[in-house]
Copies of this chain bind each other. A is one copy, B any other.
């Protein structure tokens, strides 16, 4: 049996939460620290990436061809392509092992649920390595109110149960909100402060209606 040589970092987050940007930046940072890093793009549907993937789902499945062959719309084709990709796990694992990298950063499918809530994602995380970690990006723009923050944290809890590996939660795209907003969101990690914020927000709503 092949041993798991590399640590695998799965970047997960809702569409537009900055997965590809983090894959690029994190890999650059690890390169600079003289680690051997591999970037694996798992999105068969992506057109442009801010980095050049070392291993690419698009080399294994052709979304346009699948859409045409099976008469599928963009959603259906993406799901079919991801399901077909699962049959290539062994090949992808060999590619990973050939690189003998310290870290593999996996840029998962743009639409989170295709990776998170279909069997393919779990099969990847289970099969590729025993040394995996999930990085869950919470889009700061989607966590600005107490209720939406709670919604995102519950989504994160759902992902934690789904993938039985260590999780790191990251607030992404913080450059798009103010310092004050970042500070406020970070405070909500304290359940008491969150509860207060929710109460104030709810009172605001009642007044409005």
Interface residues of A (CB under 8 A from B): 14-16, 43, 45-48, 63, 71-79, 110-114, 117-118, 139, 142, 147-148, 150-152, 154-155, 157-159, 161-162, 164, 205
Residue of B nearest to A202 (CB): B164
Nearest 5 A/B pairs, CB to CB: A74-B74, A47-B73, A154-B158, A75-B110, A151-B161
Asked if residues B151 and A154 are in contact (CB atoms below 8 Å), the reply is no
Asked if residues B79 and A74 are in contact (CB atoms below 8 Å), the reply is no
Can you offer 7 A-B residue contacts whose CB atoms are under 8 A?
A74-B74, A111-B113, A112-B113, A117-B142, A150-B158, A150-B161, A155-B155
Q: With contacts A74-B78, A148-B162, A151-B158 known, is A16 near B110, CB below 8 A?
A: no
